[in-house]
Structure 1
Amino acid sequence: MLNKVLKYSKKASLINQILLLSFLTLKTSNLISAQEKVIIELKNFTNTELKSGGFSSPENFKIHIKATGSSLDTRNRSENLFAYCWIINSDTREKIWEMNKYNSTKSGKYSKFDDYLNLPAGSYEIYYTCPIFRYSSTFIHIETNIDHRAPDEIIDWELKRGFFYDLLNDWFGGDIRDEFKKIAKNFGVEILVDEKTPVFLFQPPVEFQNVLYQAVELGENKRIKQAFKITSPITIKIYAIGEITSSDNFADYGYIVDTKTRKRQWEMKPSNLSSAGGSSKNKIFNGDVFFQPGTYVLYYFTDDSHSFADWNALPPYDPLNYGITLIAKNSEDRKYFQLVELEQEDQVISAIIKVGSNELKSKGFTLKKDLDLRVYAIGERYSSRRQMADYGWIIDAKTRQKVWEMTVDQTTHAGGANKNRMVDEIINLPAGNYILFYKTDDSHAYDDWNSAPPYDLENYGITLYAATENFQKDWVQEFSEEKNEHIIAQIIKVKDNANKTEYFELKEPTRIRIYAIGEGFRNEMFDYGWIEDAISNKVIWEMTYSMTFHAGGSRKNRIVNTTLLLDKGSYRLRYKSDDSHSYNNWNDDPPEDAAFWGITLYKEK
């Protein structure tokens, strides 16, 4: 009986071994058939802040994503990881997956993602970034930009300088660098697929079809200015990514101007932009714009931070297309688009540029025929936003009347600080003599900026260009006030405690224009002029407060610009000033036309 039991036990053991071997063979077979291969590996971010890879498949497929990132927030309160990855569709450029705190698991200082993603047939791009670093210790909690352009000083304290930041760097800079390099070498992502999945790799980004013009991967302080000509009505797709930090603070942005009207055919503005992913300041325009035949200029500017060269916050989802791209709707439309050279730069009528602080400059010019002029002016708006601090204007040299002025309402942002403003428009002036003026206050001007300068800082001031077709240079010439044949008598640039007289004679009844600037307050004049009959000593005309208007600058600067009919005879032109606030000795802001402080008589036609 015992022998039968032993024989049965041996048979059972043999059967179990056979069954176990069969199971293991089946299991191994299944593992082999499901074996994965790594197709993309983006790792070690100690020396770079962005890496990318592209992959595609002609059939629906599944990818396995293994990623290590970080928020360095042990309580998991931060919504955004500062080291993470995402995937976009190469054709639509839209994000289809992103690693975040909700789909990742905390593991000490790291966040981990290990899961599968089903994808339809197509092309995809994966990006991994680590542009900033969050550091925490017993004494300090800080978020800092990582700038790999300076390998020995990768920690960028947001470009702040001074004792506190130098001290901060001395105390903690080394610790932060060491900590960053220690954990950044473990950041990265792997993409795996079943070894039987047909996958093709490529270097992102997938190029757009029918590109007309492209300026991308833009770094800091870039100034794109490209003219193009449209010969037939077409619709162009514009794909532009930039940085908008507030409703009126455009850091990296673009616009397109019609050269004939100087009106903006298209521009990036809060109302037509949407989130570009990453930091909230990343914005995108992706839409169609219709163009009539004509010549246009595309402008795109970047400021001194947060660009493809170095992101100081999380980059957009499509970082390799940071900038602007113009795309034809179809290949047929390409023939209606042509890049051209700018010609108008050689057609300068008059210019006052690179204007420093506390300056008042003027230039005269003569138009021999009616002309369309392009006015291009850059200046500064006061913080009150109701008035310009640095601005330009044009006057008729004969009447001294303003024919154009740069006002707050007509300006747009000029880049840099919000107060930087610009005008770019077309005006028409009849033949005649004119004076171009530009005035600055005591701060924030060329080579003396107290905030971020405008993007086109070399043209800070005002420039007039000819905007008339077939313009000829001999239609314009310089004009000098000293050679103005219409002046009958003049007393200008009057100093303190002056009492001046000029004699003049009229051989026939003449209508004269009186242009006088002086000082007045509370219905009383302190610097003023008048006209006397040289024979009877009778006062024919006198500058009174009630007839004056504000002359710009201080409210006490007063101006008169009127006409008077004088009989044939001999006359005296008089001007008197008190002991303060006079030409080049101002105790308050000077008037706009400071050089004409005094009185001038012109002959009217």
Structure 2
Amino acid sequence: MKYLAILIFVMFGFGNLGAQTVTIGDVNPEDLQIKAFNLSSSATVKVSGVGGVFRDDYRLLMYYGWILDADTREVVWHLFDEMKDREFRKSDGLYDFSAEVPLKAGNYELYFTGAYDTRGWGNNFTMSDWTIDSFDDLVDEIFDSRDKEKFRRSLQEDLLISVSGAGLSPASVDALFDAKVKKAPVYFVKAENGERFEQGFTLTASTDIRIYAIGEGRKDEIFDYVWIYNAASRERVFEMNYKNTDFAGGADKNLKVDELITLPAGSYMLSYRTDDSHSFEQWNALPPDDPQFWGVSLFPVTETDRKNFSEFKAPKSMQPVAELVEVGNSELVSKGFSLSKEMDVRILCLGESTSYDEMADYGWIVDANTRKTVWKMRGYKTEHAGGASKNRRFEDVLTLDKGDYIAYYVTDGSHAYNSWNAASPHEVDRWGITLWATKDNEVGQVKTFEVEDYVVKNLIAELVMPGDHVYLKKVFVLDKDTNVTIMAMGEGSDNRMYDYGWIKNMNTGEVVWEMDYYDTDHAGGARKNRMVVEDIRLPKGEYRLNYETDGSHSFNDWNADPPNDPQSYGIRVLIAE
């Protein structure tokens, strides 16, 4: 009997020695399943199963599969290659497939999904998702997708994919995935919706790196993507955009970067972000060919390159010296800062534009003593900040003299931090204004202060930040003839002032100075915000400073855009320099 068993095995079983089958089936719509297998030697495997294209709630539901090389991440077989992609979409109902695929020895991942094609007809349809060559194509696509067999749960068990062959054996998906990501000193993969990732790394020498990233975007906008910037200078050394990406398989919006870059020695930040849909968490269209690596991985090219990666050493200048960030709707915020020497300051300001040069959310900087604007965010000097086109960013280095300054940031009633009415910017937590020193040894040269506590140098008297319906007075005495600077800000239009100040000589009863519309300039914000700075000489004596407002548009109760220096709304008298 023993010899008979051996004979039967030799006759019927030897040809299948070591051969096993890996199968994926019973996959729910909008689900994606993965299995892995190993080939001990090069072999031709058989891939077979049942795919399908169905109508489901006026969308196209497509069942299909593919095989990925677990190490190179390259597709080695795809059902769409068996039948041209466009022809597959025209299929109706179940579709049997079978193929003989030659594969090298190695590890592979098998995928099967039931995904919705946004190029179908329905709520998810957009013309940008669809390539149409003629009017006949348009008619065919519309009526073809409407006439398709409707998806039924009873069909789900019939939909499957199998791979079998000599020397094939099942493998662990997690083990293969872990082995691959361990080769990347820095990575962020299987990214989900609404993720914000940032990690620093330091290179001890010039290093060649393979950057492998998968994300989402289209020609005019990118949603899930990666960028790398120098931690000291904030210079972007790499950024994923539509021009430097390739098609990542699946939906047209799936984009891939697989590129070699060389970075000099230094410290860097790797950043990746996703929007609120279409990620490894859940795909709202056909998934990419390598869904597990949705995100970014940095692979050193050689072992020497790998040894150049070291623990992140954050430059001191990476820490902001002053910031007003995460600013919400209808806010006006300020922060004072003092420079003990002339120095370069890097400024980043994110805001919302309404036109080429008009900003709804923006920042500016004034001299704390003279109240002159030394910098303001201008729309035409900004670039796109990611997300909605109205998200704008300004980043540059400013040279500022030794002295005291106040940074301001203002928002209107919509589209600000945590209350976006359109796609949010990429650096969402920096909505506002941020300042950095450009050199590590100059970080300590910057000190911050609260604006409300700041005392203007050479100040004689002031009446500032008035509300509606007020009449403010303050007496001051000059013990000698004095050259003074008067700084006044108020509301005026149609050649008339509504919020304004004046000075009265208490010894003579004469009004020696009064804010006149014809002497004012625009103070920023609404056109009715007016300001004047004037030098006069006052004789020795007693004076009274006066300021009056009407019933609207005053400090912290603006009915239009506030002035550039809202905390100077009112009047000040200073000793002239």
Alignment of 1:23-422 (within 5 A): 38-46=20-28, 48-56=31-39, 58-59=41-42, 61-72=43-54, 82-90=62-70, 92-100=72-80, 102=84, 109-119=93-103, 124-132=108-116, 181-193=153-165, 195=166, 198-199=167-168, 202=171, 203=173, 204-205=176-177, 207=180, 211-245=184-218, 247-248=220-221, 250-340=222-312, 342=314, 347-382=319-354, 384=355, 386-409=357-380, 411=382, 417-422=388-393
| Aligned-pair Cα RMSD in Å | 4.0
Distance 1:360 1:280, change over 3 A: same
Whether the 8 Å contact between 2:61 and 2:116 is mirrored in structure 1 is no
Q: 1:91 deviation in Å?
A: 5.0
* 1:53 partner letter: A
Q: 1:255 deviation in Å?
A: 0.9
* 1:399 partner letter: T
Distance 1:477 1:63, change over 3 A: closer
Q: 1:440 deviation in Å?
A: 1.4
Q: 1:253 deviation in Å?
A: 1.2
Distance 1:185 1:551 in 2: 71
SS at match of 1:211: coil
Whether the 8 Å contact between 2:345 and 2:435 is mirrored in structure 1 is yes
Q: 1:390 deviation in Å?
A: 2.0
Q: 1:280 deviation in Å?
A: 1.4
1:601 is matched with which residue? 573
Distance 1:143 1:497 in 2: 55
Distance 1:44 1:352, change over 3 A: same
Matched length: 530
Distance 1:262 1:316, change over 3 A: same
Gap runs ≥5 in structure 1: 1-28, 145-177
Q: 1:533 deviation in Å?
A: 6.3
What's the CA shift string for 1:485-531, capped at 9, x where partnerless? Answer: 32223232344565655554556676544432222334444433455
What's the CA shift string for 1:294-317, capped at 9, x where partnerless? Answer: 221111112222111211211111
Distance 2:344 2:152 in 1: 60
Structure 1, 34-43 or 64-73: larger mean CA deviation? 34-43
Q: 1:447 deviation in Å?
A: 4.6
Distance 1:337 1:180 in 2: 53
1:439 is matched with which residue? 410
2:136 is matched with which residue? none
* 2:113 partner letter: T
Structure 1, 251-260 or 534-543: larger mean CA deviation? 534-543
Distance 2:315 2:89 in 1: 60
Distance 1:227 1:338 in 2: 10
Q: 1:543 deviation in Å?
A: 4.3
1:485 is matched with which residue? 457
Distance 2:97 2:285 in 1: 22
SS at match of 2:270: strand
Distance 1:452 1:34 in 2: 56
1:450 is matched with which residue? 421
Whether the 8 Å contact between 2:317 and 2:438 is mirrored in structure 1 is no
SS at match of 2:281: coil
Structure 1, 321-330 or 206-215: larger mean CA deviation? 206-215
Q: 1:289 deviation in Å?
A: 2.2
Distance 2:92 2:473 in 1: 89
Structure 1, 391-400 or 346-355: larger mean CA deviation? 346-355
SS at match of 1:71: strand
The TM-score, its normalising length taken from structure 1, stands at 0.75
Q: 1:323 deviation in Å?
A: 0.7
Distance 1:38 1:200 in 2: 6
SS at match of 2:328: coil
2:139 is matched with which residue? none
Distance 1:524 1:454, change over 3 A: same
Whether the 8 Å contact between 1:50 and 1:131 is mirrored in structure 2 is no
Distance 2:206 2:312 in 1: 17
Distance 2:67 2:377 in 1: 48
Distance 1:123 1:371 in 2: 57
What's the CA shift string for 1:44-69, capped at 9, x where partnerless? Answer: 2138423243444644x433221322
SS at match of 2:421: coil
Whether the 8 Å contact between 2:349 and 2:394 is mirrored in structure 1 is yes
* 2:554 partner letter: S
Distance 1:529 1:69 in 2: 80
SS at match of 2:527: coil
Distance 1:436 1:37, change over 3 A: same
